[in-house]
Amino acid sequence: MHPLELSGADLRDMLRRTADKLAPFLDSLPQQPVSNTEGGRKLARRLMEPCPETGVPFSRLLAQITDQIVPTSLNTASPGYLAFIPGGGLPHAAVADLITGVTNRFTGIWMPAPGLVQTEIAVLRWMCGWVGYGSEAGGTLTSGGSLATLSAFVAARERGFRRVYTTELVHHCAAKAARIADMPVTIVPMDSEHRMRPDAIGDEPGVVIASAGTTALGNVDPIAELADSCEGRHWFHVDGAYGGCFVLTERGRRALAGIERADSILLDPHKGLFLPYGTGALLVKDRSALREAFRSEASYLPDPVDGDDFWDFTDLGPELSRPTRGLRLWLPLKMHGVGAFRDALDEKLDLAEDAARRVAALPHVRMVAGPDLSLFAFRIEPPGHPDHDGLTRRVLARVNQKQRVFLTGATVGGAFVGRVCVLSFRTHQDRIDALVADLAEAIADPRG
Ligand SMILES: Cc1ncc(COP(=O)(O)O)c(C=O)c1O
């Protein structure tokens, strides 16, 4: 057999060896340090090597990957990871990826793999239902929020909305997408609570982006009022990359009221539905907007499958060949039911509320924002201290040194804030207790 051909027995052997490494990794996650980036440069330099002419045995490479390459990192799968926007990474999705990778079906268009494509259509239809969209709606799964944002902008631009209106707190992928799509950006003023002012949007037709939870502060723009303000004038886009999936919960539904009036919505399943990195979702109220923007023909492709039930994903986004993305979402949703996801998201809301209340009660803490959902921001400001920015940074660094939780900050209006974002399905009450204890200690002695 040619060496590149793997027999069934060899595959089974590779999977068994891999599982023998991954099973203890999963089981020991709560005990693992939440960050371990020391020696990262040295490790990276060691990997700058020429491509080998001949092969290295799998067992050696597996050991290198799992014992050296992966562990030198922020442990984004840890329950203590409260930085940036967590998610955790459901291993079920990785199993789905294994199946789609080994079977290697083509899902850029519908015809070559109707079943697999339909799993993607199914999860998109489910998500459209969650946000309150009707049967005309549709969407596409992308590599993440950034590509979904770009696709939304292009769809809006093709309908004549050629400017972008948003606040300075919008995720930077919006500025990037605007640059790629060649759309000028107008920054709309915010109110005293860092929310977009619906009365301050300009008149030239454009895409208005509301944040359903900003990355820096977690605050939600006034979605229903913005929808009123956009009616008949602007394309209304809701960036729900961080917070959109909370529509599954009752409290989230209240915080995001009016989201169903948006022309397009970004959800990031690799955040709010806990998937491993690699899946964003763009939902549009009127599916034909995507088709108008992205449809293109080629004589070597089969006839398109137009219609309500079956979709060619190449007509709904910029890609043709693409990873099969539906199954990694379909499998965990089918295995657990959406109720398990709703419960997990509800738990995150409870944990963030508890954490924010207890952090606010620590000495010298000034709460800057929230939690509107599961993210809040704070500063350490002892009266008379000359450098609140520096002190807040030092406190965060001290907390992170303890390696039970990992926090990151952001600069808002020139001031540095610490943030806590609770969104991993693995984060539970014990980790919030650790956060509060470590923060209290760090505030008492920021130098260690
Ligand atoms: C609010 C918000 N929008 C968009 C994005 C971009 O998403 P992605 O990283 O999936 O491209 C992020 C990422 O953190 C985000 O927090």
Helices (H) and strands (E) in the chain, counts: 15, 13
Give distance in angstroms: CA of 76 to centre of ligand 1: 15
Per-residue pLDDT of the chain (448 residues; tens, 9 = 90+): 898 999 999 999 999 999 999 999 999 999 999 999 999 999 999 999 999 999 999 999 999 999 999 999 999 999 999 999 999 999 999 999 999 999 999 999 999 999 999 999 999 999 999 999 999 999 999 999 999 999 999 999 999 999 999 999 999 999 999 999 999 999 999 999 999 999 999 999 999 999 999 999 999 999 999 999 999 999 999 999 999 999 999 999 999 999 999 999 999 999 999 999 999 999 999 999 999 999 999 999 999 997 889 999 999 999 999 999 999 999 999 999 999 999 999 999 999 999 999 999 999 999 999 899 999 999 999 999 999 999 999 999 999 999 999 999 999 999 999 999 999 999 999 999 999 999 999 999 987 5
Note the Cα 427 to chain centre separation in Å: 16
Give distance in angstroms: CA of 266 to centre of ligand 1: 9
Give distance in angstroms: CA of 152 to centre of ligand 1: 14
- Judged on CB neighbours under 10 Å (0-12, 13-18, 19+), 211 is buried
Residue of 242, 264, 375 best suited for mutating to test ligand 1, as the one with most atoms within 8 Å of CB: 242
* Nearest CA, atom 14, ligand 1: 85
Report d(CA 226, CA 262) in Å as an integer. 9
- The pLDDT, as a whole number, for residue 446 is 87
CATH class assigned to 97-336: alpha beta
3-state secondary structure 208-233: EEEEECCCCCCCECCHHHHHHHHCCC
Give distance in angstroms: CA of 89 to centre of ligand 1: 16
Atom of ligand 1 nearest to the CA of 277: 10
* Nearest CA, atom 6, ligand 1: 145
Give distance in angstroms: CA of 149 to centre of ligand 1: 9
Nearest CA to 392 out of 421, 367, 413 is that of 367
Answer yes or no: are the C-beta atoms of 293 and 155 closer than 8 Å: yes
Give distance in angstroms: CA of 241 to centre of ligand 1: 5
* Number of Cβ atoms within 10 Å of the Cβ of 76: 18
- The pLDDT, as a whole number, for residue 209 is 98
Answer yes or no: are the C-beta atoms of 329 and 407 closer than 8 Å: no
* Nearest CA, atom 12, ligand 1: 241
Give distance in angstroms: CA of 272 to centre of ligand 1: 11
The answer, as to whether pTM is greater than 0.75, is yes
* Nearest CA, atom 7, ligand 1: 145
Atom of ligand 1 nearest to the CA of 170: 1
Q: Which distant-in-sequence residues (6+ apart) come within 8 Å of 260 by Cβ?
A: 131, 132, 133
Report d(CA 359, CA 376) in Å as an integer. 10
Answer yes or no: are the C-beta atoms of 370 and 377 closer than 8 Å: yes
Give distance in angstroms: CA of 174 to centre of ligand 1: 9
119: three-class secondary structure by DSSP: helix
- Helices 338-360, 327-336: inter-axial angle, 10-degree rounding: 90
Nearest CA to 371 out of 342, 395, 345, 349 is that of 349
Nearest CA to 425 out of 267, 241, 271 is that of 271
* Number of Cβ atoms within 10 Å of the Cβ of 212: 30
Atom of ligand 1 nearest to the CA of 214: 1
What residues does ligand 1 touch, defined as CB less than 6 Å away? 85, 144-146, 171, 173, 211, 215, 239, 241-242, 268, 280
